[in-house]
Amino acid sequence: MIPNFFIIGSKTERPSSNKTIFADGSADKTYRDGVDLELSHWIPNRTPERYRADTSTEICMKFVAGQSTDGWDLAINNHLDADGVLAVFVLVHAEFALRHRETIVRAAEMGDFWGYGERPAQILFQGLTLYMNQLREAKEDIRTIYERCFEKVIQLIEQPEQAVETKDGLAALQASLARVEAGEIKRVQVSERLVHYALPHALVAADLEKALRVPGFNEPLSDTVWLQPAVRCKFDPDAVHLVSAAAADGHYYDLWYPGYMWADTEQRWRAPGFGFAGSTNGYYYGHPALEAAVARLQEQEQAAGTWTLAKELSPFSTIPGRNYPVVLSFLNTASQPHPSSLTPQQVLAELLAAF
C-alpha cells in the first residue's frame, strides 16, 4: 500500500516524497523522470506497457498485483470522479482492493465509460458518485472528499444492504434493461460493429425528453432516460450504436460511439475517426466513409434539418445540443434534435458502408 496521498487543488500541504505515483489524470511539472511513475489512461500518458488497461483503476490494480509497493510513498491525482477516487483507493488500500477487484474495476468503467457492471459494481458506482457529488456541493476540500470517499467505498462493498440511497438509480437501470430484454426497445445487430436500438413511439410520446437525453460524464444513474447507455454497453460494449426514437412525424437519431473512446484503451476495439488534437483528452473527428454516408443521408432528407457530424470531441463535448459520445445527430437550425423523414432502414443502409 502507498502510505500517503495528495490531490492537486487541495488547500492542504503537499507532502514530500521519495517516489511518487501519479494515478489517473496527468502528471504535473513536478514529475521526475526515472523516479516517479504515471499510472493513467488519460491521453497522453507515460504508463508502462505492462500496466496498461482500460481505466486508471484497473491500471493501478495491475500495479499493486504485480509488484511490491515498498519505496513508493505518495499517490497523487488532480481531479474528482469515480475512476480517479478508485484509482487512488487501490494504491492506498491495495489488499482490500485486490480482494474486490472485479467490483471496483467495473464501477470505474460505469463512471468513465457509461459501462455496465453487475449489482455489486452498480451499488459501488452509484453510492460513491452520489456521495462524492454531495461532498463537492458542500465545498469540502478535495483531499477530504477523497479521504471520506475511501471510507464510503469500503462501506458500500462490505455493507451493500445499507446503501438505500442507490435504490432508485439501480431500479431505473433494471427497468431499462427489462425494456430491451422484453423487446419493447428493439435491438438489432446490423453488423459486427453496428447495432440499432429502436425506441417505440409509445415511449417517445410518453416522455420525449427521456427518449432523447444523453447522460453526462460520470453522472449517477437516474430515471431520466428510457434507454440507459449502460444497458447498451451490457449487450454491445465494442460497437457503434444507432439509437432511433419513433415520433409521429418521423424518427429522431443519434449515433453513439463507445464511451471509452476518449481514453487510452488500446486493448479495446478502436472505432475509426478519432485523432488526438494535442490537448488533454481532446480529439479531432474525421471518418471519410461516415462523412460520405452523411452526405448521402442529407441528399435523401426531406425534413427541415441537418445531419450533423462531430468535428471535435472531448469527454465533455461533441455536437452542439448533444453530448459525448454522440458523434452524429439530425438537428434543426437551433441545434436541437428534430425528426428526420428517413426510416431506420434507410439510415442503416448508409451507415453500414462506414461500419
Q: CA-to-CA distance for 96 and 83, rounded, in angstroms?
A: 17
- The pLDDT, as a whole number, for residue 107 is 98
244: left (phi over 0), alpha (psi -120 to 50) or beta: beta
Low-confidence residues in the chain, pLDDT < 50: none
97-139 pLDDT per residue, tens = 999 999 999 999 999 999 999 999 999 999 999 999 999 999 9
Residue that is written with C-alpha cell 459525448 in the block: 324
| Range list of H helices, the chain | 56-66, 82-92, 94-99, 101-113, 119-137, 142-158, 167-181, 201-206, 208-212, 229-235, 288-300, 344-351
Main-chain dihedrals φ then ψ at residue 11, nearest 5 degrees: -85, -10
Q: What does the alpha-carbon distance between residue 315 and residue 25 come to, in Å, rounded to a whole number?
A: 13
Cα separation, 224 vs 214, in Å, equals 9
Cell numbers standing for residue 217:
460524464
Segment 315-350, tens digit of pLDDT: 999 999 999 999 999 999 999 999 999 999 999 999
Sign of CA dihedral 98, 88, 52, 317: positive
CA within 13 Å, CB half, 181: 8
Name the residue ranges covered by the structural domains of the chain. Answer: 5-162, 171-351
**How far, in Å, CA of 213 to CA of 50, rounded?**
39
> How far is it between the farthest Cα atoms of the chain?
66
Q: Which residues pair with 195 in a beta bridge?
A: 189, 241
- For residue 68, the model assigns a pLDDT of 87
Q: Which of 205, 208, 201 is nearest to 225 (CA)?
A: 208
DSSP letters for 14-41: PPP-SSEEEESS---TT--TTT-EEE--
Q: What's the pLDDT score for residue 67?
A: 85
Verdict on whether the full-model pTM lies above 0.95: yes
The pLDDT value recorded for residue 93 is 98
| AA letter at 179 | R
Sheet holding 37-39: strands in order across? 5-7, 74-77, 20-23, 37-39
The residue behind cell 490531490 is 7
